[in-house]
Structures are given as structure tokens and as C-alpha cells.
Amino acid sequence: MQDLVLPILFAVGFLLFYVCVSGWLFSFNRLNNGQRILPLESGPTVSWGFFDLFLTVALLVVFSGTFLFIAMKIAGIDEFTEELQNSSEGFLINLWINVLASLSVFTIMAFSIYFRAGKGAIFGKGTETIFCDIRLGFIAFAMSIFPVISIQFLVTRIWPYHHPVIDTFTENVSLTLAIPTLLSAVICAPLFEEFTIRLLVQGWLCDWISGRLDGAEVLWGKWKRPKEAFFDSSDDNQFSQVNESQDVSTTQANFLDQDAEISNEDVHLSNSANPYFAPQTPTEPSQFMEAADPSPVLSPWWPLPIFISSALFAAMHIGHGPAPIPLFFLALVLGYLYQRTRRLTACLVVHFLVNAQAMCLLFLQIVFPELFTPH
């Protein structure tokens, strides 16, 4: 088994390095030709505001305290002292609290966003879009992992790296600790951090700075659901009926009078033919649902939300040695992906893979320590 580990690591590393070099050459070529690396995709204005950020933090505190209380009652602990926190038992309790609290908050807030903004606000609409974002996430991971690891290698030469999860797990290796450690690091942390930092914080800042949010919307968000978020393409007859005999290639998906007749299938094909289709504004929006917003306006200050969210992401890892420095640069990549796609799928794939490769290397160091010991 040990003889197979190094060849597999070299093969995976070579593949990632090939994709990394190819991706950066492709990106520099596009920039040299005056093109953007990724196109700016359209999307509705965010439906959340500062209140949602405050509510997310408040719910995390409440759920963490509640699960801690339950855990102490189950374990028969009267006081969660500092000595207990530093023990393997306290570490295990904190891991499960983190997993359960973050998943609970994500579920509640994601349902709130879905109800107010539609299913496309978080992961996009349609399996084709999701698969394209997954592929983009794999490419972005390959392009970013070597620069991030290089930065981490340089800073750790000056500043020793210490992570409480890694330190405790390596000292107390067991299946009881392995399961919550994997859940926390590979699933819960990327899911909660990307949802909070990229979607809620960066998405809100981006639309605020670009002027798409005004007045009370900055604080409270939007509480009228966009029409295209409420109905699927099969429900287009709620708003307009279009002539079945009209040619789809000349339609352009315009909103016609109610007396015009085009089949729902034609409208769906016309919209899906253009990957950057931005819904037209209906003439008579419902009192419960506001009109769909046009394509986002790229403000001259568009990098600011990316830098702010990246700094906040790095600050969340203070106490882990020099980790905030390479993570800040990783967050710039994640922020750029979200700013261009306005969806979380690609960001989540990158974050999942970064944490997964870190945990895989950690397990390999524990199982095959001689492979990582210089001779």
C-alpha cells in the first residue's frame, strides 16, 4: 500500500499542475487580448440585507449555546472549564457543536433566501448550470492550489503553523474524532463560510456599492419575491401567452401583450439558447412579487466587496498561525468566482477541494509518517 501512495500523489500533483499552468496561460492570453477571464453573468438583485447578516451571527450564537447546554447535560458536565476545552473530550464536544450549529443556521438562512429570492439565488437554475459551475470549480481549484500552497510554504518558514483541529487530532488519533473532524473541515466549514462570507456579505456589498440596493433595502433587504424566481419556465403562462406558430429564432423572449400566443416551450427554448439571458421587466408586477431585476451594473468599485469579504474570511482564521495570509489570497479567487457567476457552486467546489486535500495529506502523514520525513 505504501508503495502506491507516492506514485498516486505524483500523478495527481502532475495533473493539477498541468491544469494550473494551462489555466493561467489561457487567462493571461484572454487578458492580453483585452478580454475578461470570466464573463460577468446577469442575476437579480440580492434579497437580503444587513439584518440577515446580523441574524446569521445571532442564530449561530444561540444554536452553539443550545447544543453546548445539551451536550453538557448528556455528558453530565457541570461547567465547561478551559481545561476541559483543551482536552480531547472537550475538543470532540466543540467539533459536534460546530457541525450541528453551522448546519442548522445554514438550513434556516438558506430557506429564507430561497423563499425570498428563488432557488437560483444560491446554486443557480438547472442542472446544466450547476455542472458547468462544478467544472469551473475544479479548474479554479487546480489554478489556485499551487499559488496558495507556495504562499503558505513561504510564510511558515518564518511563522510556525498551528491549527487547533490538526494539533489535537494528530495527538489523539481515533475514529471518534475523525468523523466530526472530516464533517467540520470538509463539509460544514466550506458550506457555512461560503454561504455567509460570499453570498450574504459579498453579494450584499456588491449590490449596495453598485446602487442596486437603496434606502431600507440595505438594512432589511427585499421582501418581494422576483417573478422569475417564483415561477419556473413551465409557469410562464401566468404572465404571457405567446403564439405557437411564431419563430423562436426571431422572438428574443420579449414580453408581449396578453392577447399574443406563443407556447411555453418556445419561450423556454428562447431563454435557454442564451446563457446570459436577463429577464425583461413585466409590465404589471404583482403586489406580492417585484419585477425581475436587469443585469448587474459593474461599479468602478467592484473589487472592494471582494477585498472586504476576503479580509473577513481571513480574519475568521486568526489564531491558526499564518493561515490568514494564504487564505486571504484563496478568498480573492473565491470572491472573483462569485462576483462573476453570482452563484455559490464554483466557490463551494474550490473550498471543498482545498479542505479535502489538506485533510488527505494530514491522514497520509499520520498513516505513513515516513513518507513525509526527510531522510
Top-confidence residue, 202 or 4: 202
pLDDT of residue 29: 94
Q: Which amino acid is at 61?
A: V
User: What are the C-alpha distances in Å from 124 to residues 134, 169, 248, 351?
Assistant: 11, 37, 24, 18
17-37 burial: b if 16+ Cβ within 10 Å, else e = eebbeebbeeeeeeeeeeeee
Highest mean pLDDT range out of 55-64, 111-120, 284-293, 294-303? 55-64
Which residue in 282, 248, 284, 283 sits closest to 268, CA to CA? 248
Point out which residues pair with 242 in neighbouring strands: 262
Which residue in 184, 169, 185 sits closest to 354, CA to CA? 185
Q: Measured in whole angstroms, how far is the alpha carbon of residue 66 from the centre of its chain?
A: 26
pLDDT of residue 271: 45
Q: Is residue 165 very low, low, confident or very high in pLDDT (cuts 50, 70, 90)?
A: low
3-state helix, strand, coil in the chain (%, to 5): 70, 0, 30
Give 91's Cβ-side CA count (13 Å radius). Answer: 20
Least confident range of 168-182, 192-206, 310-324, 354-368:
168-182
pLDDT of residue 173: 72
User: What are the C-alpha distances in Å from 202 to residues 40, 43, 258, 266, 325?
Assistant: 15, 14, 39, 36, 19
**Spatial distance between the Cα atoms of 324 and 333, rounded to a whole number of angstroms:** 14
pLDDT of residue 83: 78
How is 143-189 classified by DSSP, letter by letter?
HHHHHHHHHHHHHHHHS----HHHHHHHHS--HHHHHHHHIIIIIIH
Instruction: Name the 3-class secondary structure at 225.
Output: coil
Q: Which three cell numbers stand for residue 126?
A: 438547472
Percent of the chain with pLDDT over 70: 76
Instruction: Name the 3-class secondary structure at 242.
Output: strand
How high does pLDDT run on average in the chain? Answer: 79
**Spatial distance between the Cα atoms of 292 and 308, rounded to a whole number of angstroms:** 28
Which residue in 54, 52, 61 sits closest to 121, CA to CA? 52
pLDDT of residue 261: 41
Angle in degrees, CA 62, 67, 70, rounded to 5:
130
Question: What is the 3-state secondary structure of 36-87?
Answer: CCCCCCCCCCCCCCHHHHHHHHHHHHHHHHHHHHHHHHHHCCCCCCHHHHCC
Dump pLDDT digits (tens) for 328-342.
Answer: 999 999 999 999 999
Dump pLDDT digits (tens) for 256-269.
Answer: 344 444 344 444 44
Instruction: Name the 3-class secondary structure at 341.
Output: helix
Q: Is residue 2 very low, low, confident or very high in pLDDT (cuts 50, 70, 90)?
A: low
Dump pLDDT digits (tens) for 42-74.
Answer: 777 888 999 999 999 999 999 999 999 998 888
Tell me if 5 sits within 8 A of 371, measured CB to CB.
yes
Dump pLDDT digits (tens) for 224-242.
Answer: 655 544 444 443 333 333 3
> Would the pLDDT of 276 be above 70?
no
Q: Summarize the confidence of residues 314-322 as an average pLDDT.
A: 86
pLDDT of residue 189: 92
Least confident range of 15-29, 44-58, 216-230, 305-319:
216-230
pLDDT of residue 82: 77
Least confident range of 90-94, 248-252, 294-298, 344-348:
248-252
pLDDT of residue 55: 96
Q: Is residue 106 very low, low, confident or very high in pLDDT (cuts 50, 70, 90)?
A: very high
Least confident range of 104-113, 202-211, 272-281:
272-281
pLDDT of residue 307: 96
DSSP 198: I
